[in-house]
Amino acid sequence: MSVAESYPDGLLYHPEHDWAKVDGDTATFGITWYAQDQLGEVVFFDPPEVGAQVSAGSAYAEVESVKAVSDVFAPMSGEVLEVNEALKETPENINEDPYGGGWMVRVRLSEPSEADSLMDVNAYKQSLGR
Amino acid sequence: MPVQYQGIRQEHVAVRTHAGVFDVSHMGEIETSGPGAERYLQRLVSNDVTKIAPDGAQYSVLCREDGGVLDDLFTYRLGPDRFLTVTNASNHERDHDWFARHADGFDVEVRDAAADYAMLALQGPQARAILARHIEGEAPARMRVTRARVADVDCLVCGTGYTGEDGVEILIPPEGAVEVWDALTGDGATPAGLGARDTLRLEVCFHLYGNDLSEDRNPIEAGLGWVCKLDTDFIGADALRGLEPTEALVPFAFTGEGIPRQGNPILVEGSRAGMVTSGTLSPCLEIGIGMGYVPVVSSSPGTKIEVDVRGKLRPAEVRERPLYRKER
């Protein structure tokens, strides 16, 4: 079930173990391998509404394991353009493919410069002691 | 015991379909013995202790004078004048104090036996088949206890459990516990943790002290009137006599998405009416399930309720117990 630990290059990382993949003025968000490993098997993903405003460092969604619920924090601010509806049926994608099929939302960025305060892969790995 | 070894769902399914073993050594034990032991226990615990057969087991609650629940317990009869009562870990010290405090006037010896035993629960449809390969002699029937050697260790083997599956709970001298654990896990029993123990018991609506039972709740509203034999005059019986509770503990299931959690408000017809005491995602039913206290008028199976899960109202329905029943 579990996949090998990985932190791809080219993503930006937030200290709450979220990643952002920035593409122009939009970005895709998800949680890192470390975050899903801490959670254990995800059994429910509660997404925000399309059109909702998310702000950097604030919770925008919830993920639940059988045992507990956790907030998911936005690495950057903006408006939700799209939600990964597939996670309703297969929340385990968050565990099995955290940077691919486990993506959570796509956002139109309101403050693209927030990217500057996020970590690159080396800084994030260092923060994990990897 | 860890929350999980491999994953809660995996361990849960292993217990429902094959066999799992839980290290529940944290549970406490109190031994009562002597010519007055039966009469003494009859005063303390809510069930009719005289009905425990030789080598029998019985479930009961321990109440305060006002009927508030101090603990829920299993008592095993080890001899005509000798009993072993299994306590919840978090209540053990308080239970033992309560036992000791009420021993005056009875010809009984009360002994804290928690250090005498490790405890493993082997549960699941294959539990008895696995046990049979490691036990010398007969395994106990359901609700019976027997002394037997398991993996060459002298144990007390009890035909009880907390999962809704067939199986046994094994009380083991601590120095032999690893041998028994290794024998069972080495023969196909999946190590299972506290997380699966909770989801398994909740699917079959067994109470968890601290969630569904507390000093602020009496056993009648908790649905445990069947273990309260008021004519035995146990401590608390007077308070429970003639009591007409206004609330009842009910099992419920979500009819849509979401997972209920302990502390979530329960709404009936849009108004706050109660609170979730236990909640989880049922690994077998794949829906949110739970138990909670609601007004008696809203406690019938089929009653529509809503659960406020962190601001989102999730539709649910009061159900019959157990929430999960094995297909036969």
Nearest in space to B120 (alpha carbons), one of B10, B1, B290, B269: B1
Q: Which residue has the tokens 């849509």?
A: B256
pLDDT in tens, B128-155: 999 999 999 899 999 999 999 999 999 9
A64: nearest CA partner in chain B = B259
Interface of B with A (CB under 8 A): 3-4, 7-10, 12, 195, 198-199, 257-259, 261, 280-281, 283, 310, 312
Domain assignment present for B220:
no
**Residue to test with chain B: of A66, A94, A96, most B Cβ within 10 A:** A66
Q: Taking the CA atoms of B1, B2, B8 and B14 in sequence, report the sign of the dihedral they define.
A: negative
DSSP secondary structure string, B175-199?
GGHHHHHHHHHTTTPEEE-HHHHHH
Q: Would you list the domain boundaries of chain A?
A: 12-127
B70 and B91 inside one domain:
yes
We report the CATH number of the domain holding residue B77 as 3.30.70.1400
The answer as to whether B214 is a domain residue is no
Dihedral of the alpha carbons of B88, B91, B93, B98, in degrees to the nearest 10: -110
Q: Which residue has the tokens 């839980």?
A: B22
Using the beta-carbon criterion (under 8 Å), do A43 and B9 form an inter-chain contact?
yes
Answer yes or no: is B181 within a domain: yes
Q: Is B8–A44 a contact, with Cβ atoms under 8 angstroms apart? A: no
Is B318 in contact with B252 (CB distance < 8 Å)? yes
Does B235 map to a domain? no
Show which of B51, B82, B115 is a domain's final residue: B115
DSSP letters, B33-58, are ESTTHHHHHHHHBSS-GGGPPTTBEE
pLDDT (tens place) for every residue of chain B, 328 residues total: 889 998 999 999 999 999 999 999 999 999 999 999 999 999 999 999 999 999 999 999 999 999 999 999 999 999 999 999 999 999 999 999 999 999 999 999 999 999 999 999 999 999 999 999 999 989 999 999 999 999 999 999 999 999 999 999 999 999 999 999 999 999 999 999 999 999 999 999 999 999 999 999 999 999 999 999 999 999 999 999 989 999 999 999 999 999 999 999 999 999 999 999 999 999 999 999 999 999 999 999 999 999 999 999 999 999 999 999 987 5
φ, ψ of residue B41 to 5 degrees: the values are -65, -35
Answer yes or no: do B121 and B191 share one domain: yes
Has residue B2 been placed in a domain? no
Q: What is the CATH number of the domain that holds B302?
A: 2.40.30.110
Q: Is residue B101 part of a domain?
A: yes
d(CA A110, CA A79): 7
- Asked if A130 reaches chain B (Cβ–Cβ under 8 Å), the answer is no
My answer on whether B302 and B176 are in the same domain is no
Question: CB B9 to CB A88 under 8 A?
Answer: no
CB contact (8 A) between residue A41 and residue B259: no
Are both B186 and B294 inside the same structural domain? no
Asked casually if ipTM beats, i.e. exceeds, 0.85, the reply is no
Closest residue to B281, CB basis, from A1, A40, A43: A43
Domain check: are B20 and B122 in the same one?
A: yes
At a CB cut-off of 8 Å and minimum separation 6, what does B289 contact? B202, B203, B251, B252, B253, B254, B260, B279, B280, B281, B282, B323
Tokens of B73: 């317990």
Does the pLDDT value for residue A1 go beyond 60?
A: no
Number of domains forming the structure of chain B = 3
Q: Does domain A12-127 have CATH number 2.40.50.100?
A: yes
Provide the chain A residues 44-63 that lie in CB contact (below 8 A) with chain B: 44, 46, 62
Closest of A108, A109, A98, A122 to residue A45, by C-alpha:
A98
**Residues from chain A contacting residue B199 (CB–CB below 8 Å):** 66
Domain holding B140: CATH number? 3.30.1360.120
Distance CA A33, CA A17 (A): 8
Residue B39 lies in a domain: yes
Last residue within a domain, chosen from B83, B115, B147: B115
Q: Give the C-alpha separation, B180 to B251, whole Å.
A: 36
Sign of the four-CA dihedral A47, A50, A52, A54:
positive
- Reported as a single tens digit per residue, the pLDDT across A12-33 is 999 999 999 999 999 999 999 9
Residue B138: predicted pLDDT: 92
Q: Which domain holds residue B269?
A: 246-318
Report if residue B236 sits inside a domain: no
- B128 and B17 in one domain? yes
Distance, in Å, from the CA atom of B17 to the CA atom of A81, rounded to the nearest integer, reads 43
